[in-house]
């Protein structure tokens, strides 16, 4: 079977710096062989001097990237792009980068890929990068429900406009991001050493996967780090001393996502599975569960299972109680 192409998503609220970041990415030599889909709302935003038209909808960027705008149907645009690539009508590419509109909830975009068999065969979900405007994060989180979804699903967050925000505003934005998404690494767009290609790099080795899983489930993210968020979003981590039965967990998660998938913005786990010597990482975005990853080592000496949830308008104790009852486990609070 041919390798599936990673599809990376750049999300973030209106004006938060998605296009600016995308332009920087497309300037990075390592990302030259990318196809870009811009989910259009208003103008494209890309500098038109960089573009050379292939046909009415697809353009070739100066560095060889293919770019087209998507008005309604991302799935159809992606299929079209893939079939034209297969026919040799457009240059080859080894990743797809989608810039979503600032008002989009990113989850339906991810679901489109995961749910559509003809796409799933060729494309897999890569990284979700969310840009956050440090100046306006407070206001947007109070007023815009998409804001929390965009933060919750991020693997990496890029904080923009720190050059025009004061220290207190930046600290407040950081604290807010940590409440919604305790695990994603946060970079500053203005940091001189920001490697934009690295934002899309997926952890390849067991050690890198393990380090990332450990960041998601670090002690400060455990039970005490719960906070009701303005948009009804809360994150918490359950920790278990005893090994978890894989099949039972799978059934429980399936039931949870079936009943409340819309409200389970994110679930991540670093799990001690009964009968397995090594940990398993699970990662889900609402109804979409990624393939579990088997690590060949624990990140540290703490070998307890940890399950992180980011919920919207779903009481935490409902999830906790049903999980504990189903798995027949007692959580460790330490
Ligand atoms: N000062 C400053 N301005 C920035 C930064 N990032 C982006 N901008 C500016 O913010 C404005 C909006 O940036 P865009 O990259 O177009 O934002 P966007 O998220 O693509 O916007 P939409 O497509 O409307 O959702 C532009 O004028 C950028 O130059 C930053 O880190 N600092």
CATH number, domain containing residue 158 = 3.40.50.300
pTM above 0.80, yes or no: no
Q: Give me the domain span that covers residue 215.
A: 206-327
190 plus 210 within the same structural domain: no
Residue nearest (by alpha carbon) to ligand 1 atom 13: 17
The pLDDT assigned to 187 comes to 96
Span 223-233, average pLDDT? 46
Distance 187 CA to ligand 1 centre (A): 16
- Tell me, yes or no, whether 35 lies in a domain: yes
Cα–Cα distance for residue pair 73/52, rounded to 1 Å: 23
In the chain, how many H helices and how many E strands? 10, 15
* Nearest atom of ligand 1 to the alpha carbon of 102: 25
- Tell me, yes or no, whether 113 lies in a domain: yes
- CATH number, position 301: 3.30.1220.10
pLDDT digits (tens, 9 = 90+) for 31-74: 888 888 877 554 444 444 444 444 555 555 555 555 555 555 77
Cα–Cα distance for residue pair 93/115, rounded to 1 Å: 23
Distance 15 CA to ligand 1 centre (A): 5
The pLDDT assigned to 205 comes to 76
Residues in the ligand 1 pocket, defined by CB under 6 Å:
12, 14-20, 45, 102, 131, 160-161, 163-164, 189-190
Distance 42 CA to ligand 1 centre (A): 15
Q: At which of 141, 168, 200 does a domain end?
A: 200
236 plus 166 within the same structural domain: no
Give 332's pLDDT tier (boundaries 50, 70, 90): low
- The CA R_g of the chain, rounded to the nearest whole Å, is 20
The least confident of 18-22, 52-56, 97-101, 242-246 is 52-56
Distance 140 CA to ligand 1 centre (A): 15
231 plus 323 within the same structural domain: yes
| 45 token code pair | 């935003």
Distance 19 CA to ligand 1 centre (A): 7
pLDDT at 219 over 50: no
Best substitution site from 10, 12, 19 to test ligand 1's pocket, by max atoms within 8 Å of Cβ?
19
Half-sphere exposure of 314 (CA within 13 A, CB side): 22
Half-sphere exposure of 197 (CA within 13 A, CB side): 10
The pLDDT assigned to 230 comes to 47
The proportion of the chain whose per-residue pLDDT surpasses 70, expressed as a percent, equals 82
Cα–Cα distance for residue pair 104/284, rounded to 1 Å: 19
Give 181's pLDDT tier (boundaries 50, 70, 90): confident
104 plus 176 within the same structural domain: yes
The pLDDT assigned to 331 comes to 57
233 plus 290 within the same structural domain: yes
List, in order, residues 6 or more apart from 252 with CB less than 8 Å away.
322, 323, 326, 327
The pLDDT assigned to 67 comes to 58
Cα angle, residue 167 at apex, residues 165 and 169 outer, rounded to 5°:
60
Cα angle, residue 181 at apex, residues 185 and 237 outer, rounded to 5°:
110
The pLDDT assigned to 249 comes to 92
Give 329's pLDDT tier (boundaries 50, 70, 90): low
Q: At which of 200, 215, 243 does a domain end?
A: 200
Task: State how many domains the chain has.
Answer: 2
Give 202's pLDDT tier (boundaries 50, 70, 90): confident
Residue nearest (by alpha carbon) to ligand 1 atom 29: 20
273 plus 255 within the same structural domain: yes
245 plus 269 within the same structural domain: yes
pLDDT at 271 over 60: yes
277 plus 307 within the same structural domain: yes
The pLDDT assigned to 129 comes to 96
């Amino acid at each position: 079977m041919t390798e599936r192409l990673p599809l990376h998503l750049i999300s973030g609220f209106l004006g938060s710096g998605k296009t600016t970041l995308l332009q920087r990415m497309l300037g990075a030599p390592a990302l030259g062989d990318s196809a870009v889909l811009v989910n259009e709302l208003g103008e494209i935003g890309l500098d038109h001097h960089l573009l050379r038209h292939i046909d009415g909808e697809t353009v070739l960027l100066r560095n060889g990237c293919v770019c087209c705008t998507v008005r309604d149907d991302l799935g159809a645009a992606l299929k079209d792009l893939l079939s034209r690539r297969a026919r040799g009508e457009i240059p080859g590419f080894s990743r797809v980068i989608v810039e979503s509109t600032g008002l989009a909830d990113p989850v339906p975009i991810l679901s489109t890929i995961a749910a559509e068999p003809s796409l799933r065969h060729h494309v897999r979900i890569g990284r979700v990068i969310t840009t956050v405007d440090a100046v306006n994060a407070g206001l947007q989180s109070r007023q815009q429900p998409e804001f929390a979804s965009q933060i919750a699903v991020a693997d990496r967050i890029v904080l923009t406009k720190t050059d025009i925000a004061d220290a207190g505003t930046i600290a407040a934005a950081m604290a807010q991001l940590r409440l919604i998404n305790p695990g994603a690494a946060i970079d500053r767009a203005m940091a001189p050493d920001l490697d934009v290609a690295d934002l899309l790099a997926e952890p390849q080795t067991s050690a890198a996967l393990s380090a990332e899983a450990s960041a998601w489930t670090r002690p400060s993210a455990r039970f005490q780090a719960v906070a009701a968020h303005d948009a009804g979003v809360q994150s918490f981590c359950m920790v278990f001393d005893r090994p978890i039965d894989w099949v039972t967990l799978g059934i429980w998660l399936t039931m949870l996502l079936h009943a409340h998938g819309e409200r389970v913005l994110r679930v991540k786990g670093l799990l001690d599975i009964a009968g397995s010597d090594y940990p398993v990482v699970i990662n889900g975005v609402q109804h979409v569960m990624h393939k579990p990853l088997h690590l060949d080592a624990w990140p540290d000496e703490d070998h307890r299972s940890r399950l992180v949830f980011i919920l919207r308008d779903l009481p935490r104790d409902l999830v906790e109680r049903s999980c504990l009852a189903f798995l027949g486990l007692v959580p460790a609070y330490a």
